[in-house]
A = this chain, B = another copy of it.
Amino acid sequence: MDLQASAYTRSFRPEDEAYGWDGVETLAYKEEGSAPFRAVTRQVLFEEAEHGCQLRYFEVEPGGHTTLERHEHVHAVLVLRGRGTSLIGEEVREIGEHDLCRVPPLTWHQFRAAEDAPLGFLCLVSSQRDRPQLPTPEDLAIIRRDPSVAAFIRV
């Protein structure tokens, strides 16, 4: 790895340091208390005006989870490291390194890291996008009709 600063490259940190990129800020996943989640961070890797989209890296700590939510915009996900389980629609599925997931519009989804491994994933979204919706009690009643989904979700 080159140690001098680069005009074009952000180096990934060596293995013995915190997982992430030099010069890329680690942000809160969401504002605390705004939605139910646990142990998730967010880093914006690329956002170009001409692309009209944003590439983010989310990392869920072992045992943590993202928010159960849905929205009009599409999520394109690539697991960068670790493993866990995804809920997309009514599909609960184990996911691991480099798996691809597509979350269609208005589809309930949640990602959970394994108990003994983090789940780190890239997520591509449109820069212009609607705000996530949280499930109402009525939504939850419907979502919970499937026993495997009911057992999976954290709200």
Write the residues of chain A forming the contact surface with B, with a CB cutoff of 8 angstroms: 1-2, 6-12, 21, 24, 45-46, 48, 50-53, 55, 73-74, 76, 78-80, 86, 88-89, 91, 93-104, 122, 124-126
Chain B nearest CB from A60 CB (Å) reads: 17
Residues of B within 8 A of A21 (CB): 98, 100
Residues of B within 8 A of A95 (CB): 9
Nearest CB in chain B to that of A109: its residue = B8
Instruction: Tell me if A124 and B126 are in contact (CB < 8 A).
Output: no
Chain B nearest CB from A139 CB (Å) reads: 19
Taken together as a complex, chains A and B put the C-alpha atoms of A1 and B12 apart, in Å, by 28
Contacts A9-B99, A46-B76, A98-B80 given; does A52 touch B122 at CB 8 Å:
no
Contacts A6-B93, A88-B9, A89-B7 given; does A100 touch B45 at CB 8 Å:
yes
Residues of B within 8 A of A48 (CB): 74, 76, 126
Chain B nearest CB from A86 CB (Å) reads: 7
Residues of B within 8 A of A24 (CB): 100
Taken together as a complex, chains A and B put the C-alpha atoms of A97 and B97 apart, in Å, by 13
Residues of B within 8 A of A91 (CB): 6-9
Instruction: Tell me if B46 and A100 are in contact (CB < 8 A).
Output: yes
